[in-house]
Structure 1
Amino acid sequence: MAALESLLPPVERDLVITRLFDAPPELVFRLWTDPVHALRWWGPRDYPLTRIEMDVRPGGLWRGCLTSVEDGEELWQGGKLLEIEPPRRLVFTFAWDADGERGIETVVSLDFLPEEGKTRMHFRQTPFQSMAEHDGHKGGWSSTFDRLDDFLAEVQRGSS
């Protein structure tokens, strides 16, 4: 049995997403680190962020609640800010307030790179214990980044 298990592919432990946002890194970074702005875009479309507290400094804690638009179910998450290098890098821990695998802490690293007046964001979250958690986070973050893209457009229209 052990020989058969060694032939199985390893669990994908890192989630990597790269997105290009039509906004400068300073603005994208600010929207990630300002809780007032985070309330407008963080969370998937069907589970938007409804509450957040953020102590934006290395070692500071953050905690947020995603709330289902369908039934009001609350999903709490939080962690610690590890690196803050405006406007180029943000690193924090992430864990759900849940038992079992969902409650295992991961590390989220974001790099914001300028690219012809835009921002190329490199997102990495690791380590995942299963493909189910990896894929669930991939869908959630992808929807979240769609909302961030929409909010960036809204912010820039308002500032023109």
Structure 2
Amino acid sequence: MARSSEAPQEDLELVIERVFEAPPALVFKMWSDVEHLVRWHGPEGLALLHCEQDFREGGKWRRCMSSGPGHAHWISGEYREIRPHTRLSFTYINAYDDFETLVVMDFTDLGGRTAMHFRQSPFISKAECDGHGWGWRSGFELLAAYVALFEGVEGAPRGAPRSDGVAEDIVAARRRQQQHREEAERADTAKND
């Protein structure tokens, strides 16, 4: 969807440089394995109510984050490029405006550590870019803490999903999503009465 904007071009691209204290294979696995993804993904304070992905080029992904009853922030996209341990690229669409951005992450091995170069663009406004910047930086803090639990690349998911409501599995996510939907409907009905 094409939109015009008055913001300078540099304000419409988000760039984040980050080093993780883990090898690229482990950092990449945190994106490719949904059982790991649900333990760190999303900004602090938002629950991940729904998380599904078909992790292959052309595969779709879809997630729902919430800050509480009656709030659902759906995001989705398609994987464009997957080069294990070196690059991950996908489209990113917010359901509230259907505007599509492209996320590209390059991972560089720093001898057991990983430099990540993250880019997302184009945004429709500087405010939208800044909001995504806050969300991604917060999520990357959670990712850094999660990969610190591992030694090496192998290992089952560690710890429980995030205590702020991240689903342990897809079934639990669907139950919570339905509960939130019902609570929102009750709140809307009460408002209209």
Q: Shared topology, TM-score over 0.5?
A: yes
What is the CA RMSD across the aligned residues, in angstroms? 1.9
Aligned CA distance change for structure 1 residues 21 and 72 (closer, same or farther; 3 Å): farther
More strand by share: 1
Question: Secondary structure of 2:38's match?
Answer: helix
User: Shift of residue 116 of structure 1?
Assistant: 2.3
Unaligned 5+ runs, structure 1:
1-7
Q: Distance in 1 between matches of 2:64 and 2:18?
A: 24
Structure 1 counterpart of 2:113, from 108, 112, 118: 118
Give the percent of matched residue pairs that are identical in Structure 1 and Structure 2. 45
Structure 1 counterpart of 2:89, from 67, 88, 91: 91
Runs of 4+ in 1 over 3 A off after TM superposition: 155-159
Q: State how 1:1-160 maps to structure 2 within 5 Å.
A: 10-11=8-9, 12-68=11-67, 70-71=68-69, 73-99=71-97, 103-156=98-151
- Tell me the TM-score normalised to structure 2 length: 0.72
**Number of matched residues?**
148
Q: Residues 134-158 of structure 1: CA distance to partner in whole angstroms, max 9, x if unpaired? A: 0000000000000000111123399
Equivalent residue, structure 2, for 1:5: none
CA contact (8 A) 1:41 1:48 kept: no
Q: Which structure has the greater CA radius of gyration?
A: 2
Aligned CA distance change for structure 1 residues 72 and 45 (closer, same or farther; 3 Å): farther
User: Shift of residue 129 of structure 1?
Assistant: 1.3
